[in-house]
């Protein structure tokens, strides 16, 4: 089967073509991503109206480019998969409309995909790991531990009770005057910093559950920054690097400690299959990866982390999640609706749309 995937739920307009291989795997024939970072940079965050307009402008182009790069036309395709939520509603509607247009014009089957399922299934796209596996989904808007049992079968073990780590990285960058997105810039600064100079809190580590909290880090950072500014009149490069390193070390410690907790819960249920996978934009962080890798080595657990460009938003993961849904019999009609909120441990958009 050959799949066209479309993604427009946040600030990337993306299209990709995916094909199943004879060996039973999948091959990404093309993956086009138009970022919108410059459009939003003056505002210090994603502006929904600007994002929606940019998606509407770029969707046709990204689909055309993805198909050209994959050297396919509509007659080569077997289905269209599109992100139907969760996300900024204007962008999601643009993508869903685009996919419906293609489905209506070509007669191709349409499958709506949960953006988070796209992230959560990425390890199966890249590494063909079997169900079940433990998933740490850690992105700009989300942070949760899931047991993945099937393309629409997820159990949530816990997650952040306030900010997502990506958000915390972005806010940290903003507070220190570093460029957005904050993840890569904070990681870059942290390389030259001393993680021990500033002591950031590690909230909720005394609790036995898998819940986390990251909003206190931002408050702590603000206090430390203001104190340095009050004492010295401004931040030096080294101050900035040390703050980034301290902040990042706290995020790593919390994620690793709670992953250990999730692993214990998961292993009690499925002792014979121990795989932990990470996905989402923050999974691109090399310090987080290193911490989790070490934990998995200690626990004799397989660690799977997709390549960086499949960790951040892309349409290949949407095509793949759509393919899995399609193969399990799922089809969506022209009544497929865009959903701003859509927790992963709830069922498909069609079921919810029909009130079941």
Q: Residue 160 interacts with ligand ATP (CB under 6 A)?
A: no
CB of 33 to Fe ion, least distance (A): 12
Q: Which does 284 bind (CB under 5 to 8 A by kind): ligand ATP, Fe ion, none?
A: ligand ATP
Q: Residue 152 interacts with Fe ion (CB under 5 A)?
A: no
Counting beta carbons within 10 angstroms of the beta carbon of residue 236, is it exposed (0 to 12), middle (13 to 18) or buried (19 or more)? exposed
CA distances from 315 to 4, 119, 325 (A): 8, 10, 15
Helices (H), the chain: 37-41, 48-70, 89-106, 115-127, 165-175, 182-190, 215-232, 237-269, 286-298, 308-311, 316-327, 349-353
User: Distance between CA atoms of 220 and 2, rounded to whole angstroms?
Assistant: 49
Q: Return the biggest CA–CA distance within the chain.
A: 67
Residue 313 annotated as binding? yes
Q: Residue 167 interacts with Fe ion (CB under 5 A)?
A: no
Q: Residue 261 interacts with ligand ATP (CB under 6 A)?
A: no
Q: Residue 88 interacts with ligand ATP (CB under 6 A)?
A: no
Q: Which does 258 bind (CB under 5 to 8 A by kind): ligand ATP, Fe ion, none?
A: none
Q: Residue 182 interacts with ligand ATP (CB under 6 A)?
A: yes
In this structure, what are the phi and psi dihedrals at residue 108, rounded to the nearest 5 degrees?
Answer: -70, 145
Q: Which stretch binds ligand ATP (CB under 6 A): 16-24, 61-69, 139-147, 320-328?
A: 139-147
Q: C-alpha angle 158/162/124, rounded to 5°?
A: 45
Q: Which does 111 bind (CB under 5 to 8 A by kind): Fe ion, ligand ATP, none?
A: none
Residue 140 annotated as binding? yes
Instruction: Candidates 239, 313, 324, 332: give the one binding Fe ion (CB under 5 A).
Output: 313
Nearer to Fe ion, 243 or 279 (CB): 279
Residues 75 and 318: beta-carbon distance below 8 Å: no
Instruction: Candidates 19, 55, 124, 142: give the one binding ligand ATP (CB under 6 A).
Output: 142
Q: Residue 282 interacts with ligand ATP (CB under 6 A)?
A: yes
Binding site for Fe cation: which residues? 115, 119, 313
């Amino acid at each position: 089967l050959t799949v066209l995937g479309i993604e427009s739920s946040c600030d990337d307009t993306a299209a990709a073509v995916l094909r199943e291989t004879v060996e039973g795997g999948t091959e990404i024939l093309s993956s086009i991503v138009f970022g919108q970072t410059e459009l939003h940079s003056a505002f210090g965050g994603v502006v929904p109206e600007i994002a929606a307009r940019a998606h509407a402008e770029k969707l046709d182009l990204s689909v055309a480019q993805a198909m050209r790069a994959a050297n396919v036309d509509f007659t080569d395709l077997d289905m269209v998969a599109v992100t139907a939520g969760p996300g900024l509603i204007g962008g999601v509607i643009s993508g869903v409309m685009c996919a419906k247009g293609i489905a209506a014009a070509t007669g191709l089957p349409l499958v709506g995909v949960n953006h988070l399922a796209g992230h959560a299934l990425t390890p199966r796209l890249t590494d063909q790991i079997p169900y079940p596996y433990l998933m740490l989904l850690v992105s700009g808007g989300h942070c949760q531990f899931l047991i993945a049992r099937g393309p629409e079968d997820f159990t949530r073990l816990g997650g952040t009770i306030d900010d997502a780590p990506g958000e915390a990285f972005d806010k940290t960058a903003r507070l220190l005057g570093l460029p957005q997105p904050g993840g890569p810039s904070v990681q870059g600064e942290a390389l030259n910093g001393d993680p021990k100079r500033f002591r950031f809190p590690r909230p909720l580590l005394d609790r036995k559950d898998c819940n986390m909290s990251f909003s206190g880090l931002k408050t702590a950072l603000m206090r430390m920054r203001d104190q340095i500014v009050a004492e010295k009149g401004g931040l030096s490069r080294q101050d900035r690097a040390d703050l980034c390193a301290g902040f990042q070390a706290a995020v790593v410690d919390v994620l690793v400690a709670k992953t250990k907790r999730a692993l214990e819960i998961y292993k009690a249920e499925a002792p014979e299959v121990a795989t932990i996978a990470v996905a989402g934009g923050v999974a691109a962080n090399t310090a987080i990866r290193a911490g989790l890798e070490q934990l998995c080595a200690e626990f004799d657990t397989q660690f799977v982390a997709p390549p960086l460009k499949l960790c951040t938003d892309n349409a290949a993961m949407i095509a793949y999640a759509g393919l899995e849904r399609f193969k399990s019999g799922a089809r969506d009609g022209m009544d497929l609706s865009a959903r701003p909120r859509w927790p992963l441990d709830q069922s498909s958009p069609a079921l919810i749309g029909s009130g079941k």
